[in-house]
Amino acid sequence: MQLIDGKAVSSQIKQEIAAEVEQIVKNGGKVPHLAAILVGHDGGSETYVANKVKSCAECGFKSSLIRFEADVTEETLLAKVRELNDDADVDGFIVQLPLPKHISEQKVIETIDYRKDVDGFHPINVGRMSIGLPCYVSATPNGILELLKRYNIETSGKHCVVLGRSNIVGKPMASLMMQKAYPGDATVTVCHSRSKNIQEECLRADIIIAALGQPEFLKAEMVKEGAVVIDVGTTRVPSTVTKSGFKLTGDVKFDEVAPKCSFITPVPGGVGPMTIVSLMRNTLLAGKKAIYK
Amino acid sequence: MQLIDGKAVSSQIKQEIAAEVEQIVKNGGKVPHLAAILVGHDGGSETYVANKVKSCAECGFKSSLIRFEADVTEETLLAKVRELNDDADVDGFIVQLPLPKHISEQKVIETIDYRKDVDGFHPINVGRMSIGLPCYVSATPNGILELLKRYNIETSGKHCVVLGRSNIVGKPMASLMMQKAYPGDATVTVCHSRSKNIQEECLRADIIIAALGQPEFLKAEMVKEGAVVIDVGTTRVPSTVTKSGFKLTGDVKFDEVAPKCSFITPVPGGVGPMTIVSLMRNTLLAGKKAIYK
C-alpha cells in the first residue's frame, strides 16, 4: 500500500509555480493576482480563505481579500463582482461559498466573468469541461487528477466508481474520468443516495473516489484488493482528542481500508491540500491568459 | 416486451405543441420561429433539415431555412449567426452539423447566443444541464428522457449503462440520468471504446442506452432479462432490399435482444423521431421565453 501524500505534492507544486512566477517577472511579465471575496465570519470559510491568501504568498502571487459583513445585500456583492470583472489587474477571483441565505449563489457565480472564474463554477467552464475544451477545472477534481498523474496511476480502461453526485466534486469527477485523456479513459460509475448495492459497485472498482460527505462510509468489505482509493470527505466530527474539539474525518474508514489498497489518500493530508493548490494553478493559468485571452 | 413507439409519441407531442401554439396565437402571442442554417448539400443533412422544416409546419411554427454553399467562409457564416442572434423575430436557430472542414464547428456553436441555442450545444447550456439548472437540453438525450417519461419507466435507483461518451449523446445522457429528478436518480455507468468487460457491465444494467454508432453491437447475451433498451444508433448500412440502397441500423441486434426486454426502441421509429420533436419542444420554450428572458 502506498500513501498518496497530498501535502508533499501540493508543496512541490507551489514551489514549481513560484519558480515559474519568478521567471515570468524576470521576463517583465505581470505577477498573477488572485482576489477573494469573503462574506461573513464562518469559521470554515475564514480558514479556507486565510489558507488561500497564504498559498498565494508562497506562489509569489499578489492576493487581495475583500470582506463583507453577513448582512451585505446581493446587489452590493454583485456590484463588487462586476468591479473585479472589469479590473484589469485582477487575473482571477473567487467568492468563498457558502453565502448567506438571502444571496443567490448561482446568480453570483454566473455574474463572475468566466475568464476570471478560477473556481471553475461558472456554467461555461462546467460545460467546456464536459465537452473536453480548455477551461478552469474546479479545484477538487483538478487536484485529484493531479494526484493520479503524479503517482502514475493507470486509469485507461479501469473501472472508476465515484461516490456522490455533487456539482463541485462528483459530477465533474465523473466527467473528467471518462474523457479521452490521461487521467481519464476510465469506465465510470456514479453512485449516490438513491443507488442500491453500493457495496457491490465498489467491490468491482479499480479506483474509488469517495465524495459523499459521510464519515467512514467506505469500509474494508466494500473495497477489492489492490484498489486505488481517493477520499474527498472532510466532515468535522466532534473529538475529545484534538484541541479544536473536532477532527476532520474522511468518507473512508482508513485503518481497515488502507491495507487492501494499492494507493490511498489520507484525511487530512490527501485531497485537501491539493484543492488549494489547484486554485493556485488556475490562477497561474489566468495570469498567463493560457485558457482565455 | 413492449415496443417504445417513438413515431407515435413524437406525433402526439407535435399535436400537443400545435395546440399550445394555437392557444398562444389566440391570446395575441407570437408564433415561435425556428431558423436553420444549412451549409452544402450533404444528403443526410438535407434530409434532417427538410424534416425539421416540415415538423415546424406541423407544430404551427414559422421556420426559415438559410442556405450556404459548401465553400462559404467561416466569417460569412459567423456573420449570419450574429445576425440571427440579433433578429428579434427569430426565437431559436440551429446550424446543421457537420460543417465543412475549413469551418470550426466549436467556434460557430460558441457564437450562437445561448438563449437561442435550441440545439443545446453551447457550453452554457451543457454546463447548466450538468449543474441541474433550466436550459436547452440537446435533442437526442431530451427525446430519450421524454420516452422514458411517457412510458412511465422507473429510473430511480436503477442501474443505467450508457454505451458511448459523445458530447451530443453519451455524456449528456449520463449527466441527465444521474440528476436528482425523474427521469434520473439512476446509478449510471458510462462505457466506451476503452472499456473492458462491456458485456459484464451491460448484463448488470436495468436500462441500457446504446449510443456507440456500431451496428448491432448489443447482442442477446449482453442483456439481462427484463432490461429496458434504448437504441440511439442510426448507421447507414448498405442494403440490397431497400430502394435507397441502405438501411438505417441501430446499435442493438433487435431481433435477438427484443424478446429479453421489458421495453425496447426500434430503429427506425424509436429515438429518431423524438430527436426532431425535442428540437420543436425547445423552440416552443424559446418562443415562450420559458428558460431565458
What pLDDT digit, counting tens, does each position of B2-42 carry?
Answer: 999 999 999 999 999 999 999 999 999 999 999 999 999 99
Considering only CA atoms, which of A147, A165, A91 is closest in space to residue A263?
Answer: A147
Angstrom CA distances, A33 to A36, A52, A92, B92, stand at 10, 12, 7, 39
B257 shares a domain with B143:
yes
Considering only CA atoms, which of A60, A66, A62 is closest in space to residue A34?
Answer: A62
Contact residues, chain A, for B191 at CB < 8 Å: 187
Q: How far apart are CA A169 and CA A232, in angstroms?
A: 8
B183 shares a domain with B147:
yes
A149 shares a domain with A68:
no
Q: Which residues of B are catalytic?
A: 52, 96, 119
A167 CB near a chain B CB, below 8 Å? yes
- Do residues B122 and B92 touch, judged by C-beta distance below 8 A? no
Q: Does residue B225 lie within any of the structural domains?
A: yes
B145 shares a domain with B109:
no
B144 shares a domain with B111:
no
A156 CB near a chain B CB, below 8 Å? yes
The distance of A13 to chain B (nearest Cα, Å) reads: 29
Burial of B43 (0-12, 13-18, 19+ CB in 10 A): exposed
The distance of A140 to chain B (nearest Cα, Å) reads: 16
Question: Looking at the predicted structure, is the pLDDT value of residue B44 above 90?
Answer: no
B151 shares a domain with B95:
no
CB atoms within 10 A of CB B78: 16
Helix, coil or strand: residue B69: coil
- Do residues A231 and A269 touch, judged by C-beta distance below 8 A? no
CB contact under 8 A, B128 and A124: no
Q: Does residue B149 lie within any of the structural domains?
A: yes
CATH of the domain at A96: 3.40.50.10860
B131 CB near a chain A CB, below 8 Å? yes
Residue in B127, B171, B192 nearest the CB of A124:
B127
Q: Does residue A222 lie within any of the structural domains?
A: yes
Residue in A130, A187, A195 nearest the CB of B191:
A187
- Do residues B190 and A187 touch, judged by C-beta distance below 8 A? yes
CATH of the domain at B245: 3.40.50.720
B142 CB near a chain A CB, below 8 Å? no
A206 shares a domain with A95:
no
Averaged pLDDT for residues B52-66: 98
The answer to whether residue A96 is catalytic is yes
Give the model confidence (pLDDT) of B234-281 as tens digits: 998 898 888 888 898 999 999 999 999 999 999 999 999 999 999 999
Which is catalytic among the residues A5, A91, A117, A119? A119
Q: How far apart are CA A110 and CA A121, in angstroms?
A: 8
Provide the domain count of chain B: 2
B245 shares a domain with B147:
yes
CB contact under 8 A, A195 and B187: yes
Given this model, what pLDDT does residue A275 score?
95
Contact residues, chain A, for B138 at CB < 8 Å: none
A126 CB near a chain B CB, below 8 Å? yes
A149 shares a domain with A96:
no
Q: Does residue B6 lie within any of the structural domains?
A: no
Given this model, what pLDDT does residue B277 score?
97
Q: Choose the mutation target among B113, B169, B195 for the interface with A, i.e. most A CBs under 10 Å.
A: B195
Closest chain A residue by Cα to residue B201: A187
CB atoms within 10 A of CB A203: 15
The distance of B192 to chain A (nearest Cα, Å) reads: 7
Q: Does residue A220 lie within any of the structural domains?
A: yes
Question: Looking at the predicted structure, is the pLDDT value of residue B146 above 90?
Answer: yes
Residues 218-277 of chain B whose Cβ lies under 8 A from any Cβ of chain A: none
Contact residues, chain B, for A127 at CB < 8 Å: 122-128, 130
Considering only CA atoms, which of A50, A112, A114 is closest in space to residue A276?
Answer: A50
Which residue range forms the structural domain that includes residue B261?
Answer: 139-272
**Contacts for B250 with CB less than 8 Å, ≥ 6 apart:** B210, B215, B216, B231, B232, B233, B234, B235, B266, B267, B270
Q: How far apart are CA A55 and CA A280, in angstroms?
A: 7
B189 shares a domain with B99:
no
B268 shares a domain with B183:
yes
CB contact under 8 A, B187 and A191: yes
The distance of B127 to chain A (nearest Cα, Å) reads: 4
Averaged pLDDT for residues B158-181: 98
Given this model, what pLDDT does residue A246 score?
87
Take residue B252 and report the three cell numbers written for it: 442493438
Contact residues, chain A, for B131 at CB < 8 Å: 123, 126, 167, 171
Residue in A131, A156, A195 nearest the CB of B194:
A156
Q: Does residue B288 lie within any of the structural domains?
A: no
The distance of B26 to chain A (nearest Cα, Å) reads: 35
B164 shares a domain with B261:
yes
B162 CB near a chain A CB, below 8 Å? no
Q: Does residue A75 lie within any of the structural domains?
A: yes
For chain A (293 residues), the mean pLDDT of every run of 10, in chain order, is 97 98 97 98 93 97 98 98 98 97 97 98 98 97 98 98 97 98 98 97 98 97 98 92 89 98 97 96 98 94
Q: Does residue A163 lie within any of the structural domains?
A: yes
